[in-house]
Amino acid sequence: MARAIAPDEILRIVAEEELLQEPPVYGRVAVRGPIAALWWGLRVYVLLMAALIAIGFTRGLH
């Protein structure tokens, strides 16, 4: 059977591995260049699929 974990060991791990600290916060990334093109591609894809869904449903998709 595994040895019980003492409170001091738990507290040491919490401190060393910064388990009480919030994970790093990342700011919003600037979307430009090829990423901006990708973004637009994604928007077009979503709109295209939305249009396909609409067409599919009007043709009695089920």
- List residues near another protein by CB under 8 A: 2-3, 5-11, 13-14, 17, 19-20, 23-29, 31, 35, 38, 42, 45-46, 49-50, 52-53, 55-56, 59, 61-62
Residue type, 16: E
Alpha-carbon distance values, 2 to 6, 11, 20, 27 (Å)? 12, 19, 25, 42
Min dist. Cβ of residue 30 to another protein (A): 10
Min dist. Cβ of residue 2 to another protein (A): 7
Min dist. Cβ of residue 23 to another protein (A): 4
Whole-angstrom distance, CA of residue 40 vs CA of residue 46 = 10
